[in-house]
Amino acid sequence: MRTKRLEKVPTLISGLDDILHGGLPRNRVTLVSGAPGSGKTNLALEFLYHGARNGEPGIFLGFEESAASLRQNALGFSWDIQALERDNRLFIIEANLSPETLVAGKFSLKPMLSIISHKAKEMGARRLVIDALDVLLQLIEDPFVIRAELHYLSHWLSQQGLTTILTIKPRDGHFRLLDFFYSMADCVLQLDARVLNQITTRRLRVIKFRGSDFGRNEYPFVIFGTGLRTIPITSIELKHKPFKIRCSTGIPRLDRLLDGGIYRASCTLIAGEPGTGKTLLSATIVREACRRKERAVYVSFEQSALAIVNNIRSAGLELEPFVKSGLLHFITAMPEATGAEEHLLNLINAVEATSPHLVVIDAISACSRMGGTQAAYEYLMRALNLLKEKGITIILVNQTSGSRDQLELSGIGISSMIDTVIFLSYIHGEGETNRTIQILKSRGSAHSNQIRECVITDRGLEIIDAYGGEAGVLTGTARKVQEARDKLSKLRQESQIRSKELELARMQAVLEAERKKLEAEMANLTTELKALKMEQEIAQEERKKRQMIREYETRKPGKRK
């Protein structure tokens, strides 16, 4: 007989089914273990809620929270538990006990489990949650009673055909409950809430899953506005599309430096010191995208949306019409406000809601304030993977210390994910400071390696062609002084060249006159020579004739000497 593959039940909890490679084992037991506040009850209740809405009624047996509290908490996620109860798709059994309660003597779970069996048949239940069973067991004095009841529960669950979640809090005691639960469960999820740099973060890990593979990392998750959500980075394969189409930055000279603009679906880092024009440049790229009727999301960790719009307006860029039209959406929050996971989910929710073509994150240097460098790294890696897979163009803004030797310009360790690096910096001259721009990297594309001066005007950021001197690239007043010197030198050279040209022309005229005079003399001599030659020929002819006459006279008959 051929063995069937393990059937799974989708939890429909965002990201969890990716970690579980499809869902929880059907008709088997899953243990969810974690400390208070780690999210066990929320996960279990959401599992029931999604099942009840998708044709799998469920029963919730709780030993800690009241039914009224559960219903109220569910409304915070917009889950209408009461509507499902009225439709007989969800049933809550309230079995919470007072902390002062102590169970002594004979005790059995059979009556309660019998009630569940009857109700499950009546409503056609397919899912079951037993929440905080450890609360009940901790009140039982006799460890042998606990052991017997747990064995009975395990046997009962195996006979019911229900996909079950048990939630417990690990406790130290005379009986090691956790070991028993781990052995009876086919799937074990471990949740925890930890505080790092005064920011609370939650983590989920699959300890075991009989008969199935699963994601083996530790995954951050949040309890968000619609429930529990996690983003497993290992589920995001490297499906980044190759670059083909370029789009304009909105600055023609910058487009030429980039051999036509930035590639669509690429990641561009704009790095530089404070005040060099990073936000202005990123806003210019956003404006150009919105002019093409493309949607954009701007994530700001350092300025409010109003502050960005007003500051950019002073440089001649207007973003407010795009905000009003819905083409531009801002996400603004202090990095310390929440953990990295919630910041990431805010971004993902905005991406899912607006389907943008362009996303700006300003500034990634602030991400370490979400809980440290590792939290910043996880936030950015997950965000970049997701955005690249969706074919979204990414602009990252980063504030550097000013050292060009710091080639790890992201400061977070994500340079491998960055395709183009635009570096803005200062050149300090005599009594003034000027801005420069350079393309340090552009993967898969030709690009200029020259340092160019850039200025902020009332028409935005403008790039000036490179101007080099003996000491390097010249900017500002030094550039103007050198331009004046070069112009004067040019005028002198032009004057000298003109003088030489005039002198040469005069000499050519003299030479031409001499040539013509000599040609005239040569012509006269030629004429005289021809006349002499003709006279010579005539004289020779006459001599020949006279000779012939003499010879004739000599040969006449009768003439004697």
Q: Determine the topology of domain 246-476 in CATH.
A: Rossmann fold (3.40.50)
Return the pLDDT at 495: 86
- On the 0-12 / 13-18 / 19+ scale of CB atoms within 10 A, 381 is middle
Please state which CATH number belongs to domain 8-235.
Answer: 3.40.50.300
Residue type, 198: Q
CA angle 132, 134, 136 (to 5 degrees): 90
Enumerate the CATH 3.40.50.300 domain ranges in the chain, comma separated: 8-235, 246-476
Question: Which of 275, 282, 251, 304 minimizes the C-alpha distance to 452?
Answer: 251
pTM of the model: 0.71
- One DSSP character per residue, 27-77 reads TSEEEEEE-TTSSHHHHHHHHHHHHHHTT--EEEEESSS-HHHHHHHHHTT
Q: For every one of its 561 residues, what pLDDT tens digit does the chain have, with 9 covering 90 and above?
A: 566 789 999 999 988 999 999 999 999 999 999 988 899 999 999 999 999 999 999 999 998 888 999 999 999 999 999 999 999 999 999 886 655 555 555 667 888 899 999 999 999 999 999 998 888 777 777 778 888 888 899 999 999 999 999 999 886 554 466 778 888 899 999 998 877 666 677 889 999 999 999 988 888 888 877 889 887 654 444 555 666 789 999 999 999 999 999 999 999 999 998 989 999 999 999 999 999 999 999 999 989 999 999 999 989 999 999 999 999 999 999 998 888 888 988 898 899 999 999 999 998 989 888 888 888 888 898 899 889 888 999 999 998 875 544 444 555 678 778 999 999 988 877 677 888 899 998 888 888 888 888 989 988 999 987 666 555 566 666 667 777 777 888 888 888 898 888 889 989 999 988 988 998 889 899 998 898 888 888 888 888 888 888 888 777 665 554
Measured CA to CA, the distance from residue 463 to residue 256 in angstroms comes to 11
